[in-house]
Structure 1
Amino acid sequence: MRRSGMLLPVASLPSKYGIGTFSKEAYDFVDMLHSAGQKLWQILPLGPTGYGDSPYQSFSTFAGNPYFIDLDQLVGEGLLTEEECNSYDWGNKSNYIDYEKIYLSRFKILRKAYKRSNIGDSKKFNAYCKKNSWWLDDYALYMSIKDSYEGKPWIEWDEEIRERKEDALLSYKRDLEEEIEFYKYLQYLFSQQWHKLKAYANKKGISIIGDIPIYVSLDSSDTWANPELFQLDKECLPTAVAGCPPDSFCETGQLWGNPLYDWEYHQFTDYEWWIKRIKYSFDLYDIVRIDHFRGFDEYYSIPYGDKTAVNGTWEKGPGIELFKYLRQELGEVDIIAEDLGFLTESVKQLLKDTGYPGMKILQFGFDSREDSDYLPHNYDRNCVVYTGTHDNNTIRGWYKEISREDKKMSVNYMNNKYTRDNAIHWDFICLAMRSVSDTCIIPVQDYLGLGSEARTNTPSTVGQNWTWRMSKDCFSKKIIKKIKMLTKLYSRI
């Protein structure tokens, strides 16, 4: 089945109060997708963000980001007033997320709603807490303790609670009872609002593609509550951490710093944690994209404490065995494998054995020095084609930066030497849409013809990433009509 959709992080929606949320604007975006003949909305991870505001470094692999809770719905329920919501400083740039201001304001306003909610008396809330207790209890306790330590990661806590001694756990649970309920309340709100939005999208014929990082953050409830799942020493410090070797993005590699899995332990448990994780993901999403799929075949292990990824080594991952257990427990599930970068024969075989579609990025194809698997004539149907991902520049930004030889190659490949640079994005969109790939995803920035100023993330940099926001009403009737025409022309409706 040929289909297409758009890539837009929830945070990039043009909602009120400084950051995209599950607000009316999210529903408007779904309506726009429907009007444009699209079937898919791909988002980035929904977890609460940590260091660097990256959705790939979350305090929990199961929890949702409280930033995405729509305050207007709480106003409608009488828990907040518009005056209260408007009294905080959310930043003054409509196309920019000021995370510092969001952090300083969001929890204060949500705490007001919590104190007025009497949520402890709610049967729905208590049922939610009971159903999700297997991860929610640890997460709420973790965040409450973290706050009491002024945000310090758990490896810097006192030994008794860092190592989860029973007396310490009981003491913190007793002393932080209200704070723990507050964090559970935030997750309840997130779940209620997200599932409402997802149901609306599904009713409109739009499926949600979720994104889960292969790794979890060291500073997370997952690592603190389940140290046995990871390569940690007796002091609960990592023996090695995750990353990528030197490549075209960064000559010293990418040092992610996530703890690595103890795959022998996971194998011993028949991959119980991973099965829970994937099953839970399909409660949130219709389709799941697994980031850094290569890590299941071989993972890059960097000595803990190194400042770069240069000294890392490749180690053997679980391979097809994990996915056999997943299929046995969950049946056939709709997974996209992020298989970008240099692929060994064993990675290619793992992808083939799972049957999952991999990813093709047009920007990676136009290197005039060599033929590339990312050029459309090398695709098969079972893949997902993108003009670019959240880690790439926009098409217009990228095209402006590439060499004259690569530009010439792209013009020759598309047989269109008359295109102006300010319209080049449509040529690449058409190239992706007419490819044999069953699925085509176009970042919103490319449909809007935006430049480098709209880039979502630049790998191996910190400071200005994840801040771009879409302008309200930027999808004109003319653009929507053109998108629908192309979607129909290339048989993706």
Structure 2
Amino acid sequence: MSDMVSAGRSAGVLFPVFSMRRKNDLGIGDTRAVKQCLDWFAAHGVGFLQLLPINVTGSDRSPYSAISSVALDPLYLDLEQIKGVGRATIRRAREASGIAHIAASVDYATVWKVKSEILSMAFGKFCKSGGDEGFERFKRSQGKWLKQYCLYRWLIDEAGGEEDWSLWPEAFNTQEGAYRYEAKRLRKDRAEVRTAQNYYAWEQWHAFAQWEGVRAHADRVGVRLMGDVPIGVSYASADVFFEPEWFHLDLFGGAPPETEFKADAFTTKWGQNWGVPVYRWDVIEKSDYAWWRRRIGALSSIFHQFRIDHILGFYRIYSFPWHPRRNAEFLPLSLEEAARETGGRLPGFFPREDDTMVHKALNLLDGDKYIRAVREAAGDAEVIGEDLGTVPDYVRPHLLESGIAGFKICHWEVGADGNVIDGSAYPECSFACYTTHDMAPIRSQWEDYRVAAEAGDRVAEAKLKAISQFAGLPVMRKGKAYPAFSHKTKHALLDALMGCRSRYAGVMINGVGDSPMQINFPGTVGDQNWTYRVSWEFEHIPRWMEKEMVTFEQMLRKHDRWRGA
């Protein structure tokens, strides 16, 4: 672990790796871009860089639906660091693919085609060179998870690219069948099978080495790395296929119905069905939390602090008795019709609701046990809990008592009198912000609420009032319109955020740079999610963006959040 002291009172910026841009990249941010970002943040006193999950994902590219709880996404590899890949190779690939001209967003299909071709070429050279003892040591040190992951990736290839093991051919869609199938293929094509599986281990060798290099760079420049640990893993994952004992395979975690997300009818009616299998915590507990220890331990060499996604799920989690692929089937059904389809089961909190004092007490005891185990696995890394959503009354006091900073979405913190709670009243152990990756940037929120308020929407007007109150801006009286969002508005909002009592204050890069682009639209699948990229390169940060960062730095100094203050 690093000798770096605790973050103390600090500020950070959420900047997903895929959103970063550097000169001559391959259409997506990478580990070199992360180092450049750290240098930029260090120059302006930013205390931490907050990232979204960096585990390898499936074809939907959601960082919160990983196909391995440990493996890192090779999309983020800086190919210039890999032996056998020269700048000329990368230049030719950029020109041939046209990737250099894709300005606005990440084209994952093109990015992966280009990167995988170059990686395959480099791996071929690696094999011809006789390998590397460091690679062999890496494979031995990682143990079971790496072997299972590589086998899983090879089986995906054998299934024609199908990631969901439940849809694989009968010959290998069970664990026993997979091992038999592998043994049969090894007898016939041993060198080919081993080489194919070794390729995926080789990717991970480079990924872990590069990310540990990012951590070392962060330590040198004094900016902390904040990771993100999703509440679950994808049903279509190596973990679920090879270690099903940790999961309920007929229950899928998610969130209750939410009228805020009007873009998706299913979310509004039934909730979010994330497709992550619910944990069998009783089995995990008997193993002394071996799966969670491995998961957290693998990231502890990279991150100084962790955001635990949907920490509410450690107490109880909203669950669906059907796989997300059946969502469309259930959308038009009534409760009674849905119950007939599921044998009487309906979406609800598992293992129990918060409907009685006894149930609340049991949920609290469960959460306490599981969160303690995660904190122990995290070692010296600080744990932050994303506690947004339907929050039971016992969760936030428990997190505070446990020393885990929970989230404060400033304009959501409204008192019984209808007025927004002043940031000076926040607990010190908290993480304050206006938005997360699942929300529109504050500029877009302001404008949407303003337009709706002018049309007579009282809810939108109340939200604008809360934002204005928190920032010390004028609260409009009846008959007057709120002003359009401006630099003055933004700077007042940032100043109020940095001035609150919370230990951590966070903004998103699209908020600092005034971009209206949203990173993810919950409840939807498509190219509108996880593809946002900034329009500028770290080597050529435009004057207007640098000016915004200077203003941000002044606020950090003013409110004792400047790195090293």
TM-score (norm 1): 0.91
Among 448, 460, 465, which residue is 2:513 paired with?
448
Among 145, 149, 159, which residue is 2:159 paired with?
149
Counterpart CA distance in 2 for 1:469 and 1:71 is: 19
Among 209, 218, 222, which residue is 2:235 paired with?
218
Shift in Å at residue 45 of structure 1? 0.5
What do the CA deviations read for 1:81-115 (whole angstroms, capped 9, x no partner)? 23443233436322311112223322122111111
* Residue aligned with 1:455, SS: coil
- The answer to whether the 8 Å contact 2:410/2:470 transfers is no
The correspondence of residues 166-181 of structure 1 with structure 2, limited to 5 A, is 166-172=179-185, 174=190, 176-181=193-198
Instruction: Tell me if 1:428 matches 2:438.
Output: no
Counterpart CA distance in 1 for 2:158 and 2:100 is: 27
Counterpart CA distance in 2 for 1:481 and 1:488 is: 11
Among 30, 39, 53, which residue is 1:21 paired with?
30
Counterpart CA distance in 2 for 1:420 and 1:366 is: 23
The correspondence of residues 333-372 of structure 1 with structure 2, limited to 5 A, is 333-365=381-413, 370-371=418-419
Equivalent residue for 1:480?
A: 549
Distance 1:372 1:220, change over 3 A: farther
The correspondence of residues 347-426 of structure 1 with structure 2, limited to 5 A, is 347-365=395-413, 370-371=418-419, 376-402=423-449, 403-417=460-474, 421-423=485-487, 424-426=489-491
The correspondence of residues 70-469 of structure 1 with structure 2, limited to 5 A, is 70-74=78-82, 78=86, 81-86=89-94, 87-90=96-99, 92-118=101-127, 121-152=131-162, 153-165=164-176, 166-172=179-185, 174=190, 176-231=193-248, 238-247=249-258, 248-249=260-261, 250-252=267-269, 253-305=271-323, 307=327, 311-316=346-351, 318-326=366-374, 331=379, 333-365=381-413, 370-371=418-419, 376-402=423-449, 403-417=460-474, 421-423=485-487, 424-451=489-516, 454-463=517-526, 464-469=528-533
Shift in Å at residue 168 of structure 1? 2.6
What do the CA deviations read for 1:240-268 (whole angstroms, capped 9, x no partner)? 11111102334121111111111121122
Report which stretch shifted further, 177-186 or 332-341. Answer: 332-341
Distance 1:184 1:369, change over 3 A: farther
Among 56, 64, 67, which residue is 1:59 paired with?
67
What do the CA deviations read for 1:204-229 (whole angstroms, capped 9, x no partner)? 00110000101000111111110111
Distance 1:138 1:369, change over 3 A: farther
Equivalent residue for 2:341?
A: none
Residue type at the aligned position of 2:80: D
What do the CA deviations read for 1:164-188 (whole angstroms, capped 9, x no partner)? 2243343356452111111111111
* Residue aligned with 2:42, SS: helix
Counterpart CA distance in 2 for 1:4 and 1:144 is: 42
Residue type at the aligned position of 1:18: G
What percent of counterpart residues are identical?
26
Report which stretch shifted further, 158-167 or 104-113. Answer: 158-167
* Residue aligned with 1:381, SS: coil
Residue type at the aligned position of 1:170: A
Residue type at the aligned position of 1:400: E
Report which stretch shifted further, 124-133 or 73-82. Answer: 73-82
Distance 1:363 1:80, change over 3 A: farther
Distance 1:215 1:169, change over 3 A: same
Counterpart CA distance in 2 for 1:27 and 1:398 is: 31
Residue type at the aligned position of 1:52: D
Answer with 1 or 2: which has the greater Rg.
Answer: 2
Q: How many residue pairs are counted as aligned between the two chains? A: 483
User: Which runs of 5 or more structure 1 residues have no equivalent in the other structure?
Assistant: 232-237
Shift in Å at residue 480 of structure 1? 2.8
* Residue aligned with 1:319, SS: helix
User: Which runs of 5 or more structure 2 residues have no equivalent in the other structure?
Assistant: 1-7, 262-266, 336-345, 352-362, 450-459, 475-481
Counterpart CA distance in 2 for 1:412 and 1:380 is: 19
- The answer to whether the 8 Å contact 2:472/2:492 transfers is no
Residue type at the aligned position of 1:364: W
TM-score (norm 2): 0.80
Counterpart CA distance in 1 for 2:535 and 2:415 is: 33
Equivalent residue for 1:10?
A: 17
* Residue aligned with 1:321, SS: helix
